[in-house]
Structure 1
């Protein structure tokens, strides 16, 4: 049996409640734009149909890193302008980044960058992944983190939110959106120009549509460019709950002549990106101080049963090049590794769920495209009777699991396992829900209907691995008599929480 791997790092520092003492931050980036054109390998763009070969570059793709240090421990939050890096790439990057307590690598889910999963090659039986390019991405992740590390400087942080669900379109019934933009602004303790911004928004970067053949970061490139110009500092953009399908609303923004923008226009991506930047500025305008030290990081490795027939066949064909494991029925006790091609019997893939407590900030790292229902808890109750599992229990929500206070929700964190759909809204078998004559879009890009309940349970376990999932209290930190505030405690988050001494 493969044992459950979990890790927690707790560091309670004297005086950390001030928020400034011990906190340092740095920003870095590295260009991960593929070569396109004469002398370069074909670049197959991900996210829509197969065989969409790039013909040029509109704007560069980046790995953007934020490195945080609390005086004892160092973590990195990385965002790449890609469809969804697989877990093995994150693990390989971590091995090269000695000195870090934790490295999280998230993808924006960009539909106009290279295929790094395999599903969008020249045909259904040929992977679109260029291993040399994936290696270059790994190099870029490491380079961006090292650049951020080299720029570490003392900082104070502010946290803010702004909401505008009208910027989002949900193409799947029921319509549920996470219209909250979340932002962190870092500044020198003595005042002055900001050090950098971290922005999290909840929308598919797919404004350019399926006919575009130019490499681009889609609307996030315009969001980052606008904010960097306005604030004179680096910006790291992260995607949140984008399942559902969260896309840019086409009927909200207007062209100079009063018409609506349409998918496929760079002007749409630019206008939408600037609208997201405006929302970020609104959040910054209302931001307040937040203590980001001390750090606590808890991860849980979890097995997801691979029930998607197309994914299983794609593994056999080598289109999805991913290690499989025997599914035991227990997501926290996976079976033996079965290689990269086996499709027979009960199969599972291993992934990771993370919880980071950065002082008063609670961060959930979810390895896929989370449906907004699972953020807010707005899962249908009662379920439509024609759904496949109308009597399934409602999963705990992210906001219900996270301790009260400020939060970030980082989607496609450390992996891409596809859509994470509430089980009672799963609908692949006729008769279909909502009186439809065919299934809605979504399930075809999910590992299976058990993904949501398993991942939400894993998040709960990760949070439980940190005493009370909160800041210093009667069982930890500065309120705990005799606590060692400088030596990390290591606890298996899969086990019961230790009692207070």
Structure 2
């Protein structure tokens, strides 16, 4: 398998980065991002949620300009006076130079566009009064978001098994045949198309692991055949989708969208929100499955390895996703029907799910919340919503085919059902009828670091795949998840509930990008592209402090069901607890029960002890283990949200990387602290978990 080089390492070649592989292939980092090469940003204290400007400036035109402004500015820049400024540089002259939500203010003798997030929005409320119809209406739509076409690397452009496609691109390194990927000598060649012969590779760069992994085409013999390795088209093994559910009650409308991508920035979601607001949508909740087998929607996995030459974000990909979500919501709004609801939470355990936890403490949140919506008049399925917390990367790093990974297989089997089988012990297992309708799967608590690196997948019959990282393995995980859902519906654990009192609360907030690598990737190299707030860019430094980004958290209640979001990769223990000497919430899996990383030599508290025979939350030889005395006491995430059916949506409303708990956050500039501290290198900073927790409590209290 390919080695994954951490983000910080790429910046410091002269410092002598350790580029050796992890102790085993399965321990290699799964989220490593590229590192731009530039001077570090100014070391300034983070700003509060809302900057406190010195003086508001009148919205008036300046005096006559002593210069001639350019006719236009390059993409990603805006005209301020006579100067083109990058969008990350929020200097201004008047309010007209700012975004609609910003005002031009004087801060430390500079004029800067300042944004102050609004207070918590609660609905029903003053700006969203409740209607008189207490009936619940629902509809669901599935939209394909697979890229429409792309160019591929030629064998000469690859670096053996490492799939290292590094600029400058030379002749013969890729097939410059346009977005239809048909070259003049190919059968069915229709003539030149967009991008053909332009000297630029129109590639799709796959997210996760290391940069420079180009998607490729499915071989013709695998298209349309019958088998787990067969492809739906030449562009993908299986289609990437946006799965959409809309619910309405008492005039309040909430839309959910689950996207088969690694993550979607808040500013990209805002473009969708702006387009659906006129349709009467009061709240849009998006969540990403965090797939490492799909296109780079963040920008940090573009061409080149170890250093990407430019962003991996493709505007065509982003625009298609946004357009399909808008169209899907519009279709669902036009198909709303009276709905009944079944809901519940299933404890999955770890058997058959290919679960590995590669960061201490070894705690797995095995909650599988399910919400099943049916047409109240016909009984037909509308949608089945679920959430599960493991990285979508069973295919691992050598895969080049676009796929939804195990989530795609789980959706298929929940919808279609599972056939009766005789398992490996000779026991007959019954057929499980499918639900029909649209199946909507969100990522759960994938942080800290829940991944399929060590294998362990089993299909419905209990058979293990021939290869740990394969479509057969992803299919097996999908079967196991589907069996949990379908069995829960059959035996009543997913039970009818009274669907009343639809309410929500949501909070926008700012937080600093404290991670130096992310600062450089977004500001110096323009790899990561998202809206930045409340700073000016002066001589390569951000003034008055670290650049700020906007994020968001939401809680939605419907009867006993509570959907709640986190804007990144939340750790399981943040929701369930389970630290040594601390209580747990609900019934998580405590300790490395599969003994992937630690033998069962611990006591009841999960800590190593002589003569111990219980699963461990930490290895006996762990370097720099967490300070368990500093681990938080309750309440944990599941404690603060109301309702009997908590439904967590990870990477919801944003993509901030890992939300590392305070007690064990150890970050160094351009490196990793000793022990298990990789996640800090792919986190916006310590404030990402802190501010999420603060504002989650606010919105949860608002709907309690």
Computing the radius of gyration over CA atoms, which structure comes out larger, 1 or 2? 2
Contact 1:67/1:75 (8 A) holds in 2 = yes
Deviates more, 1:61-70 or 1:377-386: 377-386
Residue 46 of structure 1 is aligned with which of 207, 211, 214? Answer: 207
TM-score w.r.t. length of structure 1: 0.83
Deviates more, 1:244-253 or 1:418-427: 244-253
Query: Structure 2 vs 1, CA of residues 153 and 205 (structure 1 numbering), >3 Å: closer, same or farther?
Result: same
Pair 1:464 & 2:701 matched: yes
Q: Which residue of 1 aligns with 2:154?
A: none
Q: Which residue of 2 aligns with 1:488?
A: none
Residue 242 of structure 1 is aligned with which of 446, 452, 464? Answer: 446
Q: Which residue of 2 aligns with 1:128?
A: 312
Contact 1:161/1:284 (8 A) holds in 2 = no
Q: Which residue of 1 aligns with 2:692?
A: 455
Contact 1:46/1:112 (8 A) holds in 2 = yes
Higher relative contact order (CA 8 A, sep 6+): 1
Residue 106 of structure 1 is aligned with which of 278, 284, 287? Answer: 287
Structure 1 distance, partners of 2:538, 2:485, is 42
The Cα offsets for residues 254-312 of structure 1, whole Å up to 9 and x where unpaired, read as 79896555443111111111111111113323211223332211111122222211101
Structure 1 distance, partners of 2:576, 2:383, is 29
1:165-204 map, 5 Å? 165-166=349-350, 167=353, 168-190=355-377, 192-204=379-391
Contact 1:253/1:261 (8 A) holds in 2 = no
Contact 2:124/2:252 (8 A) holds in 1 = no
Structure 1 distance, partners of 2:273, 2:237, is 31
Query: Structure 2 vs 1, CA of residues 256 and 139 (structure 1 numbering), >3 Å: closer, same or farther?
Result: same
Structure 2 distance, partners of 1:358, 1:62, is 26
Structure 1 distance, partners of 2:688, 2:632, is 13
Structure 1 distance, partners of 2:667, 2:268, is 32
Structure 2 distance, partners of 1:447, 1:408, is 25
Pair 1:81 & 2:257 matched: no
Could you say what secondary structure the match of 1:25 adopts? strand
Query: Structure 2 vs 1, CA of residues 284 and 341 (structure 1 numbering), >3 Å: closer, same or farther?
Result: farther
Pair 1:443 & 2:680 matched: yes
Contact 2:343/2:496 (8 A) holds in 1 = yes
Structure 2 distance, partners of 1:413, 1:212, is 26
Pair 1:279 & 2:500 matched: no
Could you say what secondary structure the match of 2:214 adopts? coil
The Cα offsets for residues 166-197 of structure 1, whole Å up to 9 and x where unpaired, read as 13321111101111111111122245332221
Could you say what secondary structure the match of 2:381 adopts? coil
Contact 1:293/1:359 (8 A) holds in 2 = yes
Query: Structure 2 vs 1, CA of residues 245 and 4 (structure 1 numbering), >3 Å: closer, same or farther?
Result: same
Structure 2 distance, partners of 1:227, 1:317, is 43
Could you say what secondary structure the match of 1:28 adopts? strand
Contact 1:24/1:152 (8 A) holds in 2 = yes
Q: Which residue of 2 aligns with 1:421?
A: 660
Query: Structure 2 vs 1, CA of residues 228 and 425 (structure 1 numbering), >3 Å: closer, same or farther?
Result: same
Q: Which residue of 2 aligns with 1:152?
A: 336
Deviates more, 1:103-112 or 1:253-262: 253-262
Structure 2 distance, partners of 1:319, 1:348, is 17
Compute the displacement of 1:75 (Å): 1.0
Q: Which residue of 2 aligns with 1:63?
A: 242
Structure 2 distance, partners of 1:191, 1:62, is 27
Pair 1:117 & 2:356 matched: no
1:320-399 map, 5 Å? 320-325=528-533, 336-338=534-536, 344=542, 345-379=545-579, 387=626, 391=630, 396-399=635-638
Residue 142 of structure 1 is aligned with which of 285, 310, 326? Answer: 326
Structure 2 distance, partners of 1:319, 1:284, is 45
Structure 2 distance, partners of 1:220, 1:409, is 16
Structure 1 distance, partners of 2:650, 2:130, is 29
Pair 1:300 & 2:481 matched: no
| Matched residues, number | 450
Compute the displacement of 1:9 (Å): 1.0
Q: Which residue of 1 aligns with 2:647?
A: 408
Could you say what secondary structure the match of 1:215 adopts? coil
Contact 1:394/1:422 (8 A) holds in 2 = no
Q: Which residue of 2 aligns with 1:264?
A: 469
Query: Structure 2 vs 1, CA of residues 405 and 438 (structure 1 numbering), >3 Å: closer, same or farther?
Result: closer
The Cα offsets for residues 54-83 of structure 1, whole Å up to 9 and x where unpaired, read as 002111111110000103111100011000
Query: Structure 2 vs 1, CA of residues 338 and 106 (structure 1 numbering), >3 Å: closer, same or farther?
Result: farther
Deviates more, 1:372-381 or 1:226-235: 372-381
Could you say what secondary structure the match of 1:110 adopts? coil
More helix by share: 1
Structure 2 distance, partners of 1:155, 1:254, is 33
Query: Structure 2 vs 1, CA of residues 177 and 348 (structure 1 numbering), >3 Å: closer, same or farther?
Result: same
Query: Structure 2 vs 1, CA of residues 215 and 354 (structure 1 numbering), >3 Å: closer, same or farther?
Result: same
Contact 1:28/1:146 (8 A) holds in 2 = no
Deviates more, 1:381-390 or 1:367-376: 381-390
TM-score w.r.t. length of structure 2: 0.60
The Cα offsets for residues 151-180 of structure 1, whole Å up to 9 and x where unpaired, read as 211011000221123133211111011111
Q: Which residue of 2 aligns with 1:492?
A: none
Query: Structure 2 vs 1, CA of residues 154 and 59 (structure 1 numbering), >3 Å: closer, same or farther?
Result: same
Compute the displacement of 1:356 (Å): 1.1
Structure 1 distance, partners of 2:300, 2:270, is 21
Q: Which residue of 2 aligns with 1:290?
A: 497
Structure 2 distance, partners of 1:341, 1:288, is 61
Q: Which residue of 1 aligns with 2:392?
A: 205
Could you say what secondary structure the match of 2:150 adopts? coil
Structure 2 distance, partners of 1:131, 1:346, is 27
Contact 1:368/1:417 (8 A) holds in 2 = yes
Query: Mind listing any 5+ residue stretches in structure 1 that lack a counterpart?
Result: 326-335, 470-501
